[in-house]
A and B are shown apart, each in its own frame.
Chain A
Amino acid sequence: MNATTAPLVEVSGLTKRYGDTLAVDGVDLTVLPGEVYGFLGPNGAGKTTTLRILTGLIAPTSGTVRVLGGAPGQAQVLARTGSMIESPAFYPYLSGLDNLRLLAEYAEVPRTRIHEVLALVDLAGRAKDRFSTYSLGMKQRLGVAAALLKDPELVILDEPTNGLDPAGMRDMRRLIRELGADGRTVLLSSHLLGEVQQICDRVGIISEGRMVAEHLVDDLRTEQELVIRATPRESARSILTEALGAAAVHQYDDTLRVKVAPDRAAEVNRLLVEAGIAVSELHSTERALEDVFFELTTTDNGPEKTNAG
């Protein structure tokens, strides 16, 4: 990944409103050339709406969007972008091969490319069968084949492992990693944390239509924190919040997580003990992406309400 190169996707203050519902609320997003970017969020957080805007299917209410240096939906932008948005949709009465043939006509790409992408998604053996007879996994793979038809620089995939069995998920993730390794830029949406952690270089986390974090996956994973089990917990939380700031302390299950360097463990322990708090467990840990995700998208009262697809 070359951070000095101009971003392929630049989104600033993106908003999409449907009546009274704010589906996307001031999202800023940057995807750099050659990276695999994970767009992570719970169902209904606004991921698909954002991707639809990036592909020109829907118009934003406000904000600026640049894709490959142009406006979303422009022919010259679409010619360099491959995408699969939401569930794969094809003509049920046509074979997989014929579906790709006509998409090749629309995209103005040579027909020889069809057999390459069919082989890439391991669908060549069933290419002449009707799309309506395909399993969900095969439909998903045909969707990815269609996205790759133009040999695009930028690949946008909306939950590409949806409906796949474990082997299919593994193959799909391997394919996406290979796309990234080949120098393509991939923007991938998912609500599966493990998937993003395995595949992506960088992750943007969206919740309730708002972008709540954007980090390198490795940075998030290697961030250290202290895990504390103390009684009474609320008093311990108040003391730590007062001493270290609200942003450094959060609750996860029945433990408190404190974002400080491990060498401050003794200091934190002393603070609690001097305040009469019983500390039954205190150790440092490397944060998993899952911890970060729930910290950012969950309130103490449970998951935040979401409002869009």
Chain B
Amino acid sequence: MLGSYRAELLKLRKRSAVWVLFGAGLVLSLIFGYLLPYLGYATGDGNQQTDGIPRSEVLRGVLPERVMDNTIGGFPVFAGALALVLGAIVVGSEYTWGTLKTILTQRPGRTTLLGGQLLGLLTMLAVWVLGIFVACSLCSIGIAAAEGAPMDWPGPLTLLKGLAGGWFVLTLWCLAGAALAVAFRNVALPIGLGVVWILGIEALLAGVVSSLLPDLRFLSDAMPGANAGALVFSVTGMTAADAPPGVRDAVSGGRALSTMLVYSAVFVVLAMVTNRRRDVS
């Protein structure tokens, strides 16, 4: 397993698509977490973007005390979609390039190979989360210094919970992408289906349920995206009023965590079983 894991890290490190996706996540986090709010703050109270929120509150949102909100606030939606794409391209391209056959005839068993791949992906996601956190921290430090605002940081436990929660949200979507890639032995179809699910179906379902079919709320609350949003909500200092799209207290943090664990386990088991049973052509 260690050899497979090291090989995966080599592949991930040298693959430009991995860093392009990371760069996209980083840029989007900084734009929505810092650039747009800061522009709103700089242009005054009457700005439509701030929707009447006092400037001091807008500034507070981009200071170090809210760094975790800005680091993982976008994870349930856009960073999650990017993590799904990561899982799909890394696992799916083994089929499209035919490299699965090359590896499997070397030595590792199918379970070992997939296990190494998933561990490599989870390691890369940890690098993503830390990278975005560092960039967000630098932005908040810069803004605080420029505005002469206090540099109060969240406590270590809050930071740790936030980073772990954000990593787990990305992990969930990445595993979904990997499982879809194994199922379809492809890259494009899993990405298409997964992204439509994250960005379209879940939001649509939540909207229909809340407005037309409130009795089916249990269904929308059981969706992976709803639970990812609830987990982020629970590990940050957000309120319902200032939470970004996709982040809401649909369920409690504990329930969100256990639901996500179940989804993750299902994705891993499906991928492993399918991978073991199928012919490699």
Contacts and interface: CB of A to CB of B under 8 A. Distances in A.
Contact of B281 (A52, A88, A90): A52
B98 interface: yes
Contact of B280 (A58, A102, A106): A58
A92 B97 contact: yes
Interface stretch (B103-111, B176-184, B185-193): B103-111
Nearest to B110: A73
Interface residues of A, number: 33
Contacts of A106: 3-4, 7, 103, 106-108, 113
Interface string B13-33: 011100000000000000000
Interface of B: 3-4, 6-7, 10-11, 14-16, 97-99, 101-109, 113, 279-281
Contacts, number: 84
A114 B14 CA distance: 19
A93 B16 contact: yes
Contact of A57 (B107, B113, B281): B281
A85 B279 CA distance: 14
B107 A58 contact: no
A91 B99 contact: yes
Contacts of A90: 97, 99, 102
Main secondary structure of the interface of A (DSSP, over half): loop
Given A83-B105, A102-B10, A106-B7, 12 more contacts: A52-B279, A56-B104, A58-B279, A75-B109, A86-B98, A89-B99, A90-B102, A94-B11, A103-B106, A105-B3, A105-B6, A107-B107
A79 interface: yes
A93 B103 CA distance: 16
A111 to B, nearest CB: 11
Interface string A49-71: 00010011111000000000000
Interface of A: 52, 55-59, 73, 75, 78-79, 81, 83, 85-94, 98, 101-103, 105-108, 146, 149-150
A108 B3 CA distance: 6
A56 B279 CA distance: 9
A105 B108 CA distance: 10
Contact of A87 (B4, B7, B98, B105): B98
A150 B109 CA distance: 16
A277 B59 CA distance: 109
B14 A93 contact: yes
A55 B102 CA distance: 11
Contacts of B101: 57, 85-86, 89
